[in-house]
Structure 1
Amino acid sequence: MNLRDFIRDIPDFPVEGVMFRDVTPLLKNAHAFKTAIDKMVEMLSDLDFSCIVAPEARGFIFGSVISYVMNKGFVPIRKPGKLPYETASIKYDLEYGTAELQMHVDGLIKNERVVLIDDVLATGGTAYAIAQLVQKLEATMVGMGFLVELSYLNPKSKLKDFDVRSLIVY
């Protein structure tokens, strides 16, 4: 099965000049979704870790399912004001401004080995910010797994200190 057949290209979204890679057709097709999860699990199977961190929204979809299949903990990373308990935060720059991500301060324990899961790796900015947030909580980012990588945006230049793995590379 070619999973690229289930990723829809949407030109000029969210802004002109951007080719958006829409994974919702893959999610809709049970066989494609299962195949993607199985292949991502296989891609990460040699890593030694106990917990997956994933950002909202589509990171939750892939991260929670992979954590279930691999019998690992799952820690959500959210935008400010969405988590009910005390949080640790990281602010980072975007092309058009700044953003902030949070996780519960007790979401990770010192020296815990974690993997980041998300649907798309674009510029690497969000992944790098999440790695900084993990380090802030004194845990260790041992790997990052993505369904799709947009290599033409050179995201790995920001993530050269991390083990970055992607199932589909454009």
Structure 2
Amino acid sequence: MDFIKDAIRTIPDYPKPGIMFRDVTTMLKDARAFRAAIDAMVQPWAGAKIDKVAGIEARGFILGGAVAHQLSVGFTPVRKKGKLPGRTLEESYELEYGTDAVEIHADAIAETERVLLVDDLIATGGTADAAIKLLRRAGADVVGATFVIDLPDLGGSKRIEALGVPCASLVSFEGG
């Protein structure tokens, strides 16, 4: 997985001083790294009964769509509030300063569907936590969460596992 990690660009002081932004867009443009990342994200779930993949806006749409394709299952976008037409379900979550919310269409998930959550990065886990709660409210059995990058010092993967959801990442970076 070293070449996947090497394909991820780090941008210092973005979006604010002290933050080391881990940019997967450089991995996405590298066909070998992109393919290897999707294969590695799918591998633990090959043969498992997954009904849908849910991807968190926005890079989770790219990765989740590819994972859903490889698993031959449907895809559900988990969007920021106000981006979906029609009736939605919403889950709010705390940010450093204020709150935000994610939504899915009310008819996106059928009762008891087994769902795999996908995103590019797990940091504090706030958005993934909200997405899992939202999917569960819709009736989903969230069987796992998979990410390209884990920032273990921020505790997000432990937060997701505390919800009873196995959490997997391809690479990790120390610090925030």
Residue aligning to 2:117 = 116
Contact 2:122 2:157 in 1 (8 A): no
Q: Which residue of 1 aligns with 2:134?
A: 133
Q: Secondary structure at the match of 1:108?
A: coil
- Give, in whole Å, the separation in 1 of the partners of 2:28 and 2:121: 14
Is there any run of 5+ residues in structure 2 with no aligned partner, and where? none
Alpha-carbon distance between aligned partners in 1 of 2:152 and 2:47, rounded to the nearest angstrom = 23
> What is the number of residues matched between the two proteins?
170
Contact 1:48-1:113 within 8 A present in 2 as well: yes
Q: Distance in 2 between matches of 1:70 and 1:162?
A: 19
Give the match for residue 68 of structure 1. 69
The aligned runs of 1:1-170 (5 Å cut-off) are: 2-45=3-46, 47-159=48-160, 160=162, 161-170=164-173
Structure 1 segments unaligned to the other structure (5+ residues):
none
**Which residue identity lines up with residue 144 of structure 2 in the other structure?**
G
2:59 & 2:137 partners in 1: Cα distance? 24
Equivalents in 1 of 2:47, 2:172: separation in Å? Answer: 20
Per-residue CA deviations over 1:86-136 (Å, capped at 9, x if unaligned) read 100011101121101110000001111101000001111111000100111
Question: 1:45: how far off?
Answer: 2.3
TM-score, normalised by the number of residues in structure 2: 0.92
Q: CA RMSD in A?
A: 1.2
SS in 2 for 1:31: helix
Q: Which runs of 4+ in 1 moved over 2 A?
A: 43-48
Query: In 1, distance between residues paired with 2:55 and 2:97?
Result: 23
